[in-house]
Amino acid sequence: MNNYYDQLETSDAEQRQINQIEAIRQQLKLAKQKARAYQQLLADVNVEDINNQADFARLPLTRKSSLLELQKGDPPFGGYSAIAPGRLTNIFASPGPIYEPGSDQADFWRFARTLFAAGIRPGDLIHNCFSYHFTPAGAMVESGAKALGCAVIPAGVGQTELQVQTIADLKPQAYVGTPSFLKIILQKADEQNADVSSITRALFGGEALPPSIRDSFVARGIRSQQCYATADLGVIAYESEAQQGLIVDEGVYLEIVRPGSNEPVSDGEVGEVVVTSFNPDYPLIRFATGDLSAVMEGISPCGRTNKRIKGWMGRADQTAKVRGMFIHPEQVDRVIKRHSEISRARLVIEWRDEADQIKLVCETSSQDENLSASIAESFRGIGKLRCEVELVCTGHLVNDGKVIDDIRQYD
């Protein structure tokens, strides 16, 4: 059986660079023609002057953190979409809110390659536990599965008992979703003595995959790999069976830049992930994700020749991803503004009991339990996540400007 999705994965590195520069030129031309935002941003750029990586690195960044305001001024996509009228199929809403498009383009988010690298093959049945509610995660898997020739159970999140029953009845070969939710499903299956052993492959995203969690799945006979994808860019990088770093997807061009600048750093140096997508419908160019990572030396032992990154290594800004959802400082601010009793607040994110735990620490003169419950409900409505609320006296929090404090450490 072929171990690679296509011949691009084993391309000569020098030829790949030549092809990528040509693809960048074509994307620049398309963006200047069809995307209002890039007509302005790239107005002074002569595409024919882009002959190498250094030339391209001089172009301005588009920061994900700026999309909130850009989309307010030019809804729904800030002028970055190039989808022709009549071909827009979806408008998704990720936390923020940040709106992302979907079109009738096959495998819009390029998920088929990643599914294949995880051992999933045409004819397999996939139990898809990414959310189908507002965010595109569920649709991302669906589009890739269709391109690969797989059927999908659109399970989404929640309803654990029904998840177990469905797996036991339909016997899917693969699970796609967050590792924490698969852990919950397996625990429930054990409680009910239900047979869910048909799942032998799992592809994870949306949150970290600590070694202890991966090992527990492997002990049950589940091959477990992860990918790095975003709602706007689709798949950025994916893990192969070698499990030595994440291999950059063939449909994007990736740079690592020094946070706060647009200058690429040396391989091995930690910096901000900047991605250029070759998607003609949503041509994001030098899109600064806010995520930190580093390029690894050499190629993967699996034989795929594209560059590898170390995976997600934190945020260049204070935005954090919790249980598969992004939390922005702006959302914490909205909670504060909703409750006049709060003078300052900080969201603390920890990794405890092999799960993400979040606590909103609020400075206030009140110690009313009803206030705690009200704040928790506000955060759930704004951030789409449950959190613990701790009320502390004024002056308790360090005056360092930090709104989100991510102190997660993985074994």
Q: What is the CATH number of the domain that holds 15?
A: 3.40.50.12780
Q: Give the residue from 244, 199, 245, 247 showing the smallest Cα distance to 223.
A: 199
pTM for the structure as a whole: 0.81
Beta bridge partners of 293: 271
Question: Is residue 361 within 8 Å of residue 394, measured between CB atoms?
Answer: no
Residue whose tokens read 């790095």: 228
User: In angstroms, how far apart are the furthest CA atoms of the chain?
Assistant: 66
Regarding whether 139 and 45 lie in a shared domain, the answer is no
Question: Is residue 226 within 8 Å of residue 177, measured between CB atoms?
Answer: no
Give me the pLDDT at residue 411, please: 66
In a domain, 19, yes or no: yes
Give me the pLDDT at residue 317, please: 76
Q: Give the residue from 280, 275, 294 showing the smallest Cα distance to 64.
A: 275
Regarding whether 198 and 115 lie in a shared domain, the answer is yes
In a domain, 237, yes or no: no
In a domain, 162, yes or no: yes
Which amino acid type is present at position 145?
Answer: A
Give me the pLDDT at residue 57, please: 95
In angstroms, rounded to a whole number, what is the distance separating the alpha carbons of residues 349 and 60? Answer: 32
Whether the CA torsion 113, 116, 121, 126 is positive or negative: it is: negative
- The conformation of residue 218, written as its DSSP 8-state character, comes to H
Beta strands in 14-94 (DSSP E): 62-63, 88-94
10-residue averages of pLDDT along the chain (411 residues): 88 94 97 96 94 94 88 95 95 92 97 98 98 95 98 96 98 97 97 98 94 96 97 97 97 91 87 96 95 93 96 81 86 92 94 92 91 96 94 88 85 66
Structural domains of the chain, count: 3
Regarding whether 309 and 401 lie in a shared domain, the answer is no
Regarding whether 134 and 226 lie in a shared domain, the answer is yes
Select from 297, 317, 337 the last residue of a domain: 317
Regarding whether 110 and 213 lie in a shared domain, the answer is yes
In which domain, by residue range, is 150 found?
A: 105-231
CB proximity list for 44: less than 8 A, separation 6 or greater: none
Regarding whether 11 and 72 lie in a shared domain, the answer is yes
- The conformation of residue 83, written as its DSSP 8-state character, comes to P
Regarding whether 255 and 216 lie in a shared domain, the answer is no
- The CATH number of whichever domain residue 376 belongs to comes to 3.30.300.30
